[in-house]
Structure 1
Amino acid sequence: MGKIAFVFPGQGSQTVGMGADLIEAYPEAKKMFEAVDQRLAFPLTELIMNGPDDALKKTENTQPALLTVSAVLCTLLEKQGIKPDYLAGHSLGEYSALFAAGVLGFEDAVYAVRKRGKLMEAAVPAGKGTMAAVLGLEAEQLKAICANVSEQGDSVQTANLNCPGQIVISGTVAGVEQASQRASEAGARRVVPLAVSGPFHSSLMKPAAEKMRTVLQALSVRNADIPVIANSTAQEEQTAAEICDHLIEQLYSPVRWTESVERLIELGVDTFVEVGPGKVLSGLIRKINRKSTVFQVNNVQSLIDVSEKLKERV
């Protein structure tokens, strides 16, 4: 019997109204949403349920909103008796994975990502940094282009190694524009500028990383009950100290998603459950390995359906 991994989405998967049916169907979901509003001293539930969309898209709101919905779904799955062997999350999703692993309590995890969002927003002045998705170019080729542009004074790095042929670059506006141009000249199929508020997962995030260390030091961080694949190393981690170090690194290091999925497969995972809004990660996993079984759990109906299917495996 192959192993199961829960994977958790990052920014971009949010939608107004996500989780509404969970609140109606499950008293424990309602309690978790209420706990978030209390811990943040901010009506996040109201924003998730009713928008407006542009306010939900603000990084400091998106991050706790997505983590809340993912954590609620994960808690409900576990109540159905579905437990993963491994965990991973894409960028922000790594915090959802750490909640699922027992590393961070729910309210602490929400508080941490709210702070993380604010620090990421504040690290680089608005309009100075950006990101772009490069399609159809090898990672090594793109890394070399970014290194060359950075040497000439405009910082740019590979930020999200999402799947073969889909890599996001991040840096100063000028750096990303130059690297995008060179990537096109080198044969990239398409380069798509991303509507983001900053150069996430680039060296420009180092000021945020140091401040994030202080945030984590003030929280209770425990060893993981279930191994979590770290974004920055694409290897499993379990001790509180290494987890904290990797969360700091994660802010300015690439999200090594392709390698993370490959590592899970090496560890015997054949079934991935994307726990949280959207289905971005499911699409990436299928591109990385077509043989994997992939489920999405993002609302009441999918929670019931996927729980039934996974119970049949046991």
Structure 2
Amino acid sequence: MGKIAFVFPGQGSQTVGMGKSLADQHEEIRAMFLLADEKLGYSLTDIMFEGPDEQLTLTTNAQPAILATSMAVLKRFEKEGIKADFTAGHSLGEYTALAAAGAITFEEAVYAVNQRGRLMEEAVPAGRGAMAAVLGMERDALKGVMKDVENAGLVVAAANFNCPGQVVISGTKEGVEKASELLREKGAKRVIPLNVSGPFHSPLMKSAAEKLREVLHAANIQSASIPVVANVDACPVTDAEEIIDNLVKQLYSPVLWEDSVNTLLKEGVDTFIEIGPGTVLSGLIKKVNRRVRTFAVSDEESIMKTVATLKEEAK
């Protein structure tokens, strides 16, 4: 059997009610969520379980909520004896991947991403930044357009290389609008503005990056027990200092998700298990390589189904 990677979703995967059924069924998961509430000093779990959606969608809530839910699902899943050879996560999900690999404790991770969300929101005033998804365009052609817009004095950059033909761009409102116009002219199939609160993974986040470094140093990050594939360079990492550097750079650099999946494939991974709310990453992984197996686990039912399949094959 090939190797297993646990992968963790990023912002946008949140839904009201996530994690509730697991908390209702398992004492230790309830205790975990209480720990998160204590560390943050407010009831994140109320927002997760009851909403409203507008509250849960705020970056400062969405980030710790997705991390807490993903870690709760992981805790339940690992009880079944399935272990990962590698972890990786998309943007915010990289923090969950690091917690899963023992590089940061659950409470410290919850607090760090809540602070990360705050710093991201403070970096650029609301309405000044924008992001858009670009579909059906080659990476090199897209990079050329980014250069042209930058040369015209506007701020725009590639923010996520998600899978072949799907890239997200980020920058000032004017920069993203101008780039969107040019990308359509140059043959992009579609350019879709995204409903986000800021220009994430763009140079506009640099002001938040050094403040984030302080948060990360206070989080007592250790070396990881298994390799975590980093967003910034798609390379496996275990060293604590390198992990901190990567997370600081990640704030203003593109998320190399497609490259990260390819790294894992080269390392012999043939089974990807998406842990947490949603199935976004499973879809992207299939677009990178149709032949790999993906599972998405988010509740008791999906956990038991996946475990049954994997154990049957291991016989």
For residues 158 and 22 of structure 1, the distance between their equivalents in structure 2, rounded to whole angstroms, comes to: 37
* Matched residue, 1:14: 14
Point out where structure 2 has 5 or more consecutive residues left out of the alignment: none
1:310 Cα deviation from its structure 2 partner = 1.9
1:303 Cα deviation from its structure 2 partner = 1.1
1:143 Cα deviation from its structure 2 partner = 1.0
How many residues of Structure 1 are paired with residues of Structure 2 in the alignment? 314
| CA deviation map 1:165-199 (0-9, x unaligned) | 00000000000000000000000000000000000
Secondary structure at the counterpart of residue 244 of structure 2: helix
* Matched residue, 2:26: 26
* Matched residue, 1:305: 305
For residues 305 and 43 of structure 1, the distance between their equivalents in structure 2, rounded to whole angstroms, comes to: 31
Secondary structure at the counterpart of residue 7 of structure 1: strand
1:311 Cα deviation from its structure 2 partner = 2.2
Is the 2:209–2:249 contact (alpha carbons within 8 Å) kept by the matching residues of 1? yes
* Matched residue, 2:128: 128
Secondary structure at the counterpart of residue 254 of structure 1: coil
For residues 273 and 217 of structure 2, the distance between their equivalents in structure 1, rounded to whole angstroms, comes to: 31
For residues 129 and 189 of structure 2, the distance between their equivalents in structure 1, rounded to whole angstroms, comes to: 23
Is the 2:134–2:168 contact (alpha carbons within 8 Å) kept by the matching residues of 1? yes
Secondary structure at the counterpart of residue 137 of structure 2: coil
* Matched residue, 2:159: 159
1:305 Cα deviation from its structure 2 partner = 1.1
For residues 142 and 281 of structure 1, the distance between their equivalents in structure 2, rounded to whole angstroms, comes to: 22
TM-score relative to the length of structure 2: 0.99
For residues 70 and 76 of structure 1, the distance between their equivalents in structure 2, rounded to whole angstroms, comes to: 10
For residues 213 and 181 of structure 2, the distance between their equivalents in structure 1, rounded to whole angstroms, comes to: 36
For residues 311 and 67 of structure 1, the distance between their equivalents in structure 2, rounded to whole angstroms, comes to: 27
- % identity of equivalent residues: 56
Is the 2:137–2:166 contact (alpha carbons within 8 Å) kept by the matching residues of 1? yes
Equivalent residue letter for 1:215: V
Is the 2:109–2:219 contact (alpha carbons within 8 Å) kept by the matching residues of 1? no
1:278 correspondence with 2:278? yes
For residues 112 and 251 of structure 1, the distance between their equivalents in structure 2, rounded to whole angstroms, comes to: 13
Secondary structure at the counterpart of residue 205 of structure 1: helix
TM-score relative to the length of structure 1: 0.99
Secondary structure at the counterpart of residue 147 of structure 2: helix
* Matched residue, 2:102: 102
- What do you get for the CA RMSD once the two structures are aligned? 0.7
1:117 Cα deviation from its structure 2 partner = 0.2
For residues 236 and 156 of structure 2, the distance between their equivalents in structure 1, rounded to whole angstroms, comes to: 28
